[in-house]
Amino acid sequence: MGRGLAFIIGCAFACPWAAAAQTHDAAELEEEARLHFELGERAYNRGEFAEASVHFEEAYRLSQRTPLLYNLYLSYRDAQDQPRAADSLRRYLAAAGDIPNRARLEQTLRQLEAELAQTAPGDAPSSEAPIPTGSIVVLGAGAALAIGSIITGALALARNDELSAACPANRCSSEDARAIQADVDVLSTATDVLWPIGVAAFVAGAVWLVIELALAPRTSAQLSCGATGCTARLGGSFE
């Protein structure tokens, strides 16, 4: 998908799990938690954020590993589930201790809580991303103009056939024939004007829409592990 999410829990599965390896049951829980983490990671990278959150919730239930709470925050945030995103980020900050960018994450949590506080009782947050209305309007207008030009072109051809029938050998003197000729001229001019404008507007709207979707902001996280353990390097913005 190109968003390059590198989950900070990844190292937690790569680093030694000495305590879990002491018993067979603990090893099975570890493997099951790892599986759900991997499924969640794949779902997130496909843009299926709600599904990713289900797998991360299960991985956290099985392993109780704190970094998974941050993955839950990202998944709920991108699924536009603000209440659960705030709750996951709150739990992550409470359990994570000294982490990079704590101040920024705390600010993000305050902003989330402020937004939720302003939500009227009974209002449910939208589960869909904002619709790029501007590009869709331009796209639709272009399509309408192009269709209109096709219609006027068809009418011009039909009226021209009537004119040919009324004026054999291009000799016409009747008032009706002149009226038909005037209609053909008007419809042909409308077709010549509407078609290029409609096509240009449709193409511009399509390009605009693609750019808006491609530039939708995503937050990424990276992890580094050393002899003393694992630390997170958080990238992007948390607005």
CATH number of the domain encompassing residue 223: 1.25.40.10
Name the burial class of residue 103, with classes exposed (0-12), middle (13-18) and buried (19+) by CB atoms within 10 angstroms of its CB: exposed
Residues spanned by the domain of 92: 10-124+217-234
Question: What confidence tier does 89 reach under pLDDT thresholds 50, 70, 90?
Answer: very high
Looking at the fold, whether 114 and 18 belong to one and the same domain comes out as yes
For the cut 50, the answer to whether the pLDDT of residue 170 exceeds it is yes
Based on the fold, state whether residues 154 and 175 are members of the same structural domain. yes
Q: Are 27 and 21 in contact (CB under 8 A)?
A: yes
Predicted local distance difference test score (pLDDT) of residue 106:
93
- Considering its fold, how many domains does the chain have in total? 2
Both 189 and 140 in one domain: the answer is yes
Asked if 28 and 76 sit in the same domain, the reply is yes
106-145 pLDDT per residue, tens: 999 999 999 999 875 555 545 455 677 887 888 888 889 8
- What is the average pLDDT score of the chain? 76
pLDDT value of position 93: 93
- Domain assignment present for residue 239? The answer is no
Based on the domain organization, do 88 and 177 belong to the same domain?
Answer: no
- Which pLDDT belongs to residue 210? 82
225 shares its domain with 115? yes
Query: Residue with structure tokens 């659960």?
Result: 84
- Predicted TM-score (pTM) of the model is 0.46
Q: How far apart are CA 60 and CA 18, in angstroms?
A: 18
